[in-house]
Every structure is written in C-alpha cells, then in structure tokens.
Amino acid sequence: MTGSMAGPQSDSCSLLVSKQYSPGMTEDPDFDSFPMAVKGNAFQDFSRGQEMPHHWGRTLTEGDNAIFSTVTCNWNPMHLNAEFAKGHGHRDVVLNPMLVLCTVVGLSVEDLSEIGGPFLGMEDVVFHRPVYPRDTITAASTVVETRESDSRPNVGIVTWHTEAHNQNGELVVEYERTNLVAKHRGER
C-alpha cells in the first residue's frame, strides 16, 4: 500500500524537476530593465496660459452619488430622496456637488498633480448648476501661475483654473487649485 502511493508521487516530482516542465527553472526577465510607462507632468512642463483638456470624462450615476453621499456622511435628502428633490423642482436627485468637484479634480490629476506633491488648496469654487444622474462631465484646465518655492528648491508651486462642463456644454463647476509640484520625477 505504501509503495503504490509512493510511486505516482515520485513520478510527479521527477516531472517537476525536468527542465521542460518546471516554471521554477525558467529565468524571469530583468524587470528593472522594463521601461516605465510614465504618467504625469513635472513643474517644468507647465507654463502660464497653457491649456490642458483632461482625459476620460465621467458619466456620474445615481450609484456614484448614493455611495459618495453616504460614505461622506452627507445624508441630505436633496441628494438621496428623489421625491424630495422633485418637490423642489428638480427632475431627479441633485448629485452631491462635492462628488462632482472630487470627480473633476480626479479627472485632472494625471495632467496636473500625479507627480506630486501636496494639494495645498482651492479658491473660488463655484457650483454653477445642478448635476443629475447620468450627466457626463468633462474637465479642462489652464495654467494660471507657476512660481518657485522659497523654502524647497526641489518643488515649484502651480495654480490652475479648472472648468467642467456637462454633455450639453454647460459649465457646471469652476475653481482655482494650487499644488506643490515636483521639479523632477520621484521627488515629492
């Protein structure tokens, strides 16, 4: 009995150690030599007046809104009770403007701030009109100002003006945003 069990086990072991069949014997490539598919822009890539339409766009859904509003403790019935919103003249729930704002910033990150660093602040955020479920938002930014940091030679400070429009070309939100931006990739 013991012998009959040992037979097939030794056979599979011998298969595993043979060169043809063992994944362990295949040499992995030198992963460090793979060129990085780099994303983002560094400080030198920005100049005043530069216009940057951002990628992707986003159709915002009732699900996005319900998740975002509940997770951020914003249980306002204007965002979560369609009948309440209709009672105020809206055709559906009004998407939480903070969701719209976060999404517009999100769409702009690769172009503006993915290299880092820190998000310093925003000015003059204006919510121009309500956004409803299934509206599609696209975003674009213009460089307002670039300047050196007095205290940190490796970073600069960039301010952008960003606008987002809905599928009808109507302005839904605009703002100015300022970040520290690394002068070279890999420096935060």
CB contact at 8 A, 71 and 61: no
Sequence-distant (≥ 6) Cβ neighbours of residue 12 within 8 angstroms: none
Select from 11, 123, 148, 170 the one that contacts other proteins (CB under 8 A).
123
If one asks whether residue 180 binds other proteins (CB under 8 A), the answer comes out as: no
DSSP, collapsed to helix, strand or coil, labels residue 61 as: coil
With CB under 8 A, what is the number of residues at the site for other proteins?
A: 48
In angstroms, the first-to-last Cα distance of the chain is 65
Element (H, E) at 102: helix 97-112
Which CB atom, from 42 or from 125, has the smaller least distance to other proteins? 125
If one asks whether residue 46 binds other proteins (CB under 8 A), the answer comes out as: no
Binding piece for other proteins, criterion CB under 8 A, among 7-15, 45-53, 60-68, 162-170: 60-68
Total residues found in the chain within this entry = 188
Instruction: Using CB under 8 A, list all residues that contact other proteins.
Output: 39, 56, 58, 64, 67-69, 71-78, 81, 84, 87-88, 94, 97-99, 101-103, 105-107, 109-110, 113-114, 116-127, 130, 175, 188
